[in-house]
Amino acid sequence: MAELNVIDNAAAGRFEVNLDGQTAYAEYSLAQGVMILPHTVVPTAFEGRGVGSALARAVLGRARAEGRKVIPTCPFIAAYIQKHPEWHDIVHETHRARLGIA
């Protein structure tokens, strides 16, 4: 599979992947030193193609690059973080226990 093109649509407050006329996205909002991650949508047709993971890596990578902590209220992003310890350090302290990370 070709590498996915993930774009930051800052005007819409979301990272997006456009494939086959459909859009998958991970929403975010920015506050003082934090990035809130409330919702991710991946169309059924994209399942198993790594689209959700690509969105998660992009949004979490931006947070890390900007020195922000994340508040993952989206179940998909929260589960992705739980499975990938390399992102544990950027989870805001108020959400670490909820994700079961130290």
| DSSP class per residue in 1-45 | -PPP-EEEETTTTEEEEEETTEEEEEE-EEETTEEEE--EE--GG
Query: Mind listing the pLDDT tens digit for each residue in 47-102?
Result: 889 999 999 999 999 999 999 999 999 999 999 999 999 999 999 999 999 999 97
Single-letter amino acid code for the residue at 30: L
CB-based contact 90:70 (threshold 8 Å)? yes
Mention every residue, 6+ apart, whose C-beta is less than 8 A from residue 71: 34, 35, 36, 37, 91, 92, 94, 95
Residue 37 has pLDDT above 80, yes or no: yes
Write the CB contacts of 59 (distance below 8 Å, at least 6 apart in sequence): 15, 26, 28, 35, 37, 77
Give the position of tokens 């130290």.
Answer: 102
Q: What is the pTM of this model?
A: 0.93
- State the pLDDT at residue 20: 85
- Averaged pLDDT for residues 35-57: 95
What is the per-residue pLDDT for 2?
54
Per-residue b or e along 22-34, where b marks 16 or more CB atoms closer than 10 Å to that residue's CB: eebbbbbeeeeeb
Higher pLDDT, 24 or 4: 24
Residue 3 has pLDDT above 60, yes or no: yes
Q: What is the pLDDT confidence band of residue 4, given thresholds at 50, 70 and 90?
A: confident
